[in-house]
């Protein structure tokens, strides 16, 4: 969706066709809305205003990676949520429960009596839901750490894409300023003949 792309910069390719060329269709999986992704990309285009096809590539990168990051964060939260039963099992085992897995499964199935039992045991031991979450994290720490690594890499790549846009714009500005600097520098050394109209003081 390169609606802001100047058609004189990209002749021959319609603005709508460019994102397809750049990165294919919206990177959504089942349960995600392509319209929501398109909206995110349009907001990125509006904010970053790509000036040429290369910047359009970077903007698409930023949108894709941003979408990925949100998804990975969702996955990380869900990993903890689905590991709640394992976390509760560990906590109950630590509290000396005879059948920790059975009680934890009933608690995970939201059985009112089990919820009451668990609440009471945790309260007696001076523990809260944080202990259960910590147990869940301990049970799935390997997967959690791997998702964290994926997240860190995605965040680094998003920062690199934004830096690249900024770097190119700065380089373009420097290049545009160079001829003016050169003219000023050359003028300082220009030879002027005495008595010429350029130097009336020496006439």
Partner 1 sequence: MPSFAVMLRNRANAKRSTGPRTAAGKARAARNAHCHGLSLPVLADPALAPAVAALARTIAGPGATAARHALAVSIADAQIDLARVRRVRLELTAQLDAGRNVIRQLLRIECYEQRAWSRRQTAITAFDAAERTQSAERTHVPEQSEFAG
Residue 142 to residue 36: CA distance in whole angstroms: 31
Asked if residue 148 lies in contact with residue 76, where contact means CB atoms within 8 angstroms, the answer is yes
Residue with smaller CB distance to partner 1, 103 or 161: 161
Residue with smaller CB distance to partner 1, 27 or 100: 27
For tokens 């010429």, name the residue.
196
Applying CB under 8 A, the span of 34-42, 83-91, 99-107, 142-150 interacting with partner 1 comes to 142-150
CA atoms within 13 A on the CB side of 149: 6
List the x/- string, 99-118, binding to partner 1 by CB under 8 A: --------------------
184 binds partner 1 (CB under 8 A): no
49 binds partner 1 (CB under 8 A): no
Applying CB under 8 A, the span of 53-61, 94-102, 108-116, 128-136 interacting with partner 1 comes to 53-61
CA distances from 14 to 5, 39, 41, 121 (A): 9, 19, 17, 65
Residue with smaller CB distance to partner 1, 60 or 106: 60
69 binds partner 1 (CB under 8 A): no
Instruction: Give the chain's radius of gyration (CA, Å).
Output: 31
179 binds partner 1 (CB under 8 A): yes
CA atoms within 13 A on the CB side of 198: 6
With CB under 8 A, what is the number of residues at the site for partner 1? 40
List the one residue out of 129, 125, 126 whose CA is nearest residue 115.
129
CA atoms within 13 A on the CB side of 104: 22
Binding region for partner 1 (CB under 8 A): 9-13, 18, 21-24, 27, 29-31, 53-54, 57, 64, 68, 71, 75, 143, 146-147, 149-150, 153, 157, 160, 164, 168, 171, 175, 178-179, 182-183, 186, 190-191
């Amino acid at each position: 969706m390169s609606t802001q792309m100047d058609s004189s910069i990209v002749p021959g390719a319609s603005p709508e066709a460019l994102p397809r060329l750049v990165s294919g269709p919206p990177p959504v999986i089942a349960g995600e809305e392509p319209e929501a992704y398109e909206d995110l990309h349009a907001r990125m285009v509006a904010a970053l205003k790509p000036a040429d096809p290369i910047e359009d590539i970077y903007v698409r990168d930023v949108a894709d990676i941003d979408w990925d990051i949100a998804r990975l964060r969702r996955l990380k939260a869900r990993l903890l949520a689905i590991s709640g039963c394992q976390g509760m099992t560990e906590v109950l085992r630590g509290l000396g429960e005879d059948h920790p897995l059975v009680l934890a499964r009933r608690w995970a199935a939201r059985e009112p009596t089990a919820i009451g039992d668990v609440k009471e045991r945790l309260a007696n031991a001076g523990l809260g839901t944080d202990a259960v979450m910590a147990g869940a994290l301990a049970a799935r720490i390997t997967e959690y750490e791997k998702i964290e690594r994926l997240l860190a890499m995605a965040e680094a790549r998003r920062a690199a894409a934004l830096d690249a846009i900024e770097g190119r714009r700065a380089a373009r500005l420097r290049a545009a300023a160079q001829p003016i600097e050169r003219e000023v520098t050359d003028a300082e050394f220009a030879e002027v003949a005495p008595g010429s109209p350029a130097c009336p003081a020496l006439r």
